Homo-oligomer: A and B are copies of this chain.
């Protein structure tokens, strides 16, 4: 896929990524690297290179023929085992896994990455296209199409259009942690990002505990090796002679060899398993804190801007009421002074409307910044988690490899013993011993008188 062209769907600042590529919506990029993990490298038309979330772009070469047409029941490809599909009254295809009760919609409208770029926002697939920040006359309908929870604005569930997941096939962190959650005690809310962070910290803890476990194993091996080595130097039956004595001496020596094997195992466990596990991501907690603070700061900013919006909205309402009242007074009294006041009230009302629009704009900018940070940070956490699991897997494989080698080496310590035991020969041993200890081979004879 490297070398392919793609078009950006949403603006991306790239600020939080070391080599992030800043772009607006609708730009054309050439793909340079497309590794797994959700981050791709691309080059803009002006030559700038950098990284961005793969979900922010659509591939231009993607064949259109497989696209389901709106309203058409084109999804007649076989479903995976256990899945069934239903059509909802709104024309949405609904999937249910009959084993797990997992379920989900598939919206029959054109998938997001095939829509015209630049005409929609990732965060706002609803209603009329509009560029963010452009002030408009408030509409009652618009207000009901969304609701704000903990200062974050979500589409209203009753009226919202189906959202396509950013990474539909991957159970990606960036798709499932937008809402806050009551903590188990029900006293505080915990942000989705906080839950992801806790997962990371727990993962780091698990990794540390595995290293501790390996350390315990190392101790056991060292102790075992020490005992074998000590026993090997024991003088028991050291006076056994001949070929049997040689085999016995080798058997004792084999314990020292075994000790050596286990000592080597423990030392390799330390250098190739324990240490890498311990040293992997030394400043991990500190880094996680930074993520945490950054996202939390953005949420705080969002909250304060939300307060400003609410205040501006209240002010506007008051000004509108004031204008309405003055207009009614004018109808009754018809005085010059009143007309002057109406003009003033209208001007103030318009000003309050502008204020509100400015506040909403600022709020939306903050929410947009938080949104982008959420996507990039959760994708980074996801990458880190994959890395952690892979790293641990690799070092546990190293553990089994070392265990395997230990058994192999251990077997080889016994071979010379076996060889000498095959050579044990009682007759040979007797010969050696008799030669050394014989007292006389002249037999007695009868005494003669």
Contacts and interface: CB of A to CB of B under 8 A. Distances in A.
Interface centre among A160, A178, A396, A404 (most CB of B within 10 A): A396
Interface string A400-434: 10011001101100100110010010110111011
A177 to B, nearest CB: 5
Contacts of A400: 251, 414, 417-418, 421
Nearest to A143: B448
Given A176-B441, A435-B171, A441-B165, A244 B389 contact: yes
A153 B210 contact: no
Nearest to A164: B443
A228 interface: yes
B446 A364 contact: yes
A446 B220 contact: no
Interface centre among A163, A433, A446, A448 (most CB of B within 10 A): A446
A132 interface: yes
A311 interface: no
Given A400-B414, A445-B146, A449-B136, A231 B213 contact: yes
Interface in A294-310: 309
A440 B190 CA distance: 12
Interface centre among A122, A252, A356, A444 (most CB of B within 10 A): A444
B439 A176 contact: yes
A444 B153 contact: yes
Contacts of A237: 206-207, 209-210, 213
A443 B370 CA distance: 12
Interface string A38-74: 0000000000000000000000000000000000000
8 contacts: A172-B434, A176-B438, A178-B442, A178-B444, A220-B228, A224-B224, A251-B399, A389-B429
Given A143-B448, A367-B444, A403-B410, 17 more contacts: A123-B443, A124-B445, A154-B443, A176-B439, A177-B439, A180-B439, A192-B440, A213-B231, A213-B237, A220-B231, A368-B446, A371-B443, A371-B444, A386-B427, A393-B424, A403-B414, A404-B411
Interface of A: 102, 121-126, 132, 135-136, 138-139, 142-143, 145-146, 148, 152-155, 157, 160, 163, 165-166, 170-173, 175-181, 191-192, 195, 199, 202, 206-207, 209-210, 212-213, 216-217, 220, 223-224, 227-228, 231, 234, 236-237, 239-240, 244, 247-248, 251-252, 255, 309, 356-357, 360, 363-364, 367-368, 371, 382, 385-386, 389-390, 392-393, 396-397, 399-400, 403-404, 407-408, 410-411, 414, 417-418, 421, 424, 426-427, 429-431, 433-435, 437-449
